[in-house]
A and B are shown apart, each in its own frame.
Chain A
Amino acid sequence: MAPETRGILPLADLQRLLDTLHIRGYRIAGPTVRDGAVMWETISQISDLPIGWRDHQEPGRYRLEQTGSAEIFGVVHGPQSLKPFAFAPREPLLQIKRAQGGFSAHPELPEPEKVAVIGARACDLAGLAIQDQIFLNSSYQDPYYAVRREELFVIAVNCTRALPTCFCASMDTGPRAKNGFDLALTEIDNQLVLEAGSEAGSDLLSALSLPLASHNVIGEAAARVEACARSQVRRLDHTRLPQALYDAYEHPRWDDVAARCLACANCTMVCPTCFCHTVEETPDLTGQQTEHARLWDSCFTQEHGYIHGKNVRPTIKDRYRMWITHKLASWIDQFGTSGCVGCGRCITWCPVGIDLTEELPALLASDGRQSAKSTSGNT
Chain B
Amino acid sequence: MINPYLIHPATIVEKIQEAEDIHTYRLRLNDEDARRNFRFTAGQFNMVYLFGVGEVAISIVSDPDEPERLDHTIRAVGRVTSAIGQLRAGDTVGIRGPFGQGWPLEDAHGHDIVIATGGLGCAPVVGAIEYIFRRRREYGSVKIIHGVKTPRDLLYHERFETWRRQPDTEVLLASDRPDETWRYHVGVVTELFERVPINAAKTLVLMCGPEIMMRLGVPILMGRGIPATAVYVSLERHMECGIGLCGHCQMGPYFLCKDGPVMRYDRVEPWLGRTGV
By a beta-carbon cutoff of 8 Å, the part of chain A in contact with chain B is 93-94, 96, 98, 101-105, 107, 134-135, 138-143, 146, 242, 246, 249, 275-281, 283, 287, 290, 292, 294, 297, 299, 303-309, 312-315, 317-318, 321-322, 326, 330, 333-334
The reply to whether B9 and A103 form a contact with Cβ atoms under 8 Å apart is yes
The reply to whether B245 and A304 form a contact with Cβ atoms under 8 Å apart is no
A65 CA to B75 CA in the complex, in Å?
58
The reply to whether B51 and A139 form a contact with Cβ atoms under 8 Å apart is no
In the complex with contacts A104-B9, A105-B9, A304-B238, A318-B277 CB distance below 8 A? yes
A287 to chain B: closest residue by CB = B52
Task: Please provide the chain B residues from 255 to 275 with a CB less than 8 Å away from any CB of chain A in the complex.
Answer: 255, 258, 270, 274-275
The reply to whether A306 and B238 form a contact with Cβ atoms under 8 Å apart is yes
What chain A residues lie within 8 Å of B244 (beta carbons)? 138-140
The reply to whether A309 and B77 form a contact with Cβ atoms under 8 Å apart is yes
B10 to chain A: closest residue by CB = A102
5 nearest A-B pairs in the assembled complex, by CB-CB distance: A102-B92, A318-B276, A276-B247, A333-B253, A140-B243
The reply to whether A307 and B9 form a contact with Cβ atoms under 8 Å apart is no
What chain A residues lie within 8 Å of B94 (beta carbons)? 96, 103, 105
The reply to whether B51 and A290 form a contact with Cβ atoms under 8 Å apart is yes
B248 beta carbon closer than 8 Å to chain A? yes
B5 beta carbon closer than 8 Å to chain A? yes
- Which of B1, B11, B77, B255 makes the CB contact (< 8 A) with A141? B1
In the complex with contacts A93-B5, A102-B9, A143-B1, A313-B54 CB distance below 8 A? no
B246 beta carbon closer than 8 Å to chain A? yes
- Which of B81, B238, B245 makes the CB contact (< 8 A) with A142? B245
The reply to whether A98 and B247 form a contact with Cβ atoms under 8 Å apart is no
B53 beta carbon closer than 8 Å to chain A? yes
Having A140-B243, A283-B52, A330-B253, one finds 11 other A-B pairs with CB under 8 Å, namely A96-B7, A102-B9, A105-B7, A143-B2, A242-B253, A281-B54, A297-B248, A299-B247, A315-B276, A317-B276, A322-B276
The reply to whether B5 and A107 form a contact with Cβ atoms under 8 Å apart is yes
A294 CA to B248 CA in the complex, in Å?
13
A106 to chain B: closest residue by CB = B6
Q: Could you say which interface size class chain B belongs to? A: 35 or more
A291 to chain B: closest residue by CB = B52
The reply to whether B253 and A312 form a contact with Cβ atoms under 8 Å apart is no
What chain A residues lie within 8 Å of B7 (beta carbons)? 94, 96, 105, 292
The distance from the CB of B152 to the nearest CB of chain A, in whole angstroms, is 19
The reply to whether A312 and B1 form a contact with Cβ atoms under 8 Å apart is no
Counting residue pairs across A and B whose Cβ atoms lie within 8 Å, the total is 131
A96 CA to B9 CA in the complex, in Å?
10
The distance from the CB of B73 to the nearest CB of chain A, in whole angstroms, is 13
A283 CA to B240 CA in the complex, in Å?
19
A250 to chain B: closest residue by CB = B274
The reply to whether A107 and B6 form a contact with Cβ atoms under 8 Å apart is yes
- Which of A281, A307, A312 makes the CB contact (< 8 A) with B277? A312
The reply to whether B246 and A276 form a contact with Cβ atoms under 8 Å apart is yes
A140 CA to B255 CA in the complex, in Å?
13
B219 beta carbon closer than 8 Å to chain A? no
B252 beta carbon closer than 8 Å to chain A? yes
B112 beta carbon closer than 8 Å to chain A? no
The residue in B52, B92, B94, B244 that gathers the most chain A C-beta atoms within 10 A of its C-beta is B52
A313 to chain B: closest residue by CB = B276
What chain B residues lie within 8 Å of A290 (beta carbons)? 51-52
What chain B residues lie within 8 Å of A292 (beta carbons)? 5, 7
The residue in B237, B244, B245 that gathers the most chain A C-beta atoms within 10 A of its C-beta is B245
The reply to whether B3 and A330 form a contact with Cβ atoms under 8 Å apart is no
The distance from the CB of A324 to the nearest CB of chain B, in whole angstroms, is 12
A130 CA to B246 CA in the complex, in Å?
15
B236 beta carbon closer than 8 Å to chain A? yes
- Which of B240, B250, B276 makes the CB contact (< 8 A) with A279? B240
A318 to chain B: closest residue by CB = B276
A297 CA to B55 CA in the complex, in Å?
16
The reply to whether A107 and B3 form a contact with Cβ atoms under 8 Å apart is yes
In the complex with contacts A290-B52, A308-B78, A134-B252 CB distance below 8 A? no
What chain B residues lie within 8 Å of A321 (beta carbons)? 276-277
B4 beta carbon closer than 8 Å to chain A? yes
A308 CA to B270 CA in the complex, in Å?
24
The distance from the CB of A311 to the nearest CB of chain B, in whole angstroms, is 9
The reply to whether A312 and B245 form a contact with Cβ atoms under 8 Å apart is no
B150 beta carbon closer than 8 Å to chain A? no
What chain B residues lie within 8 Å of A297 (beta carbons)? 246-248
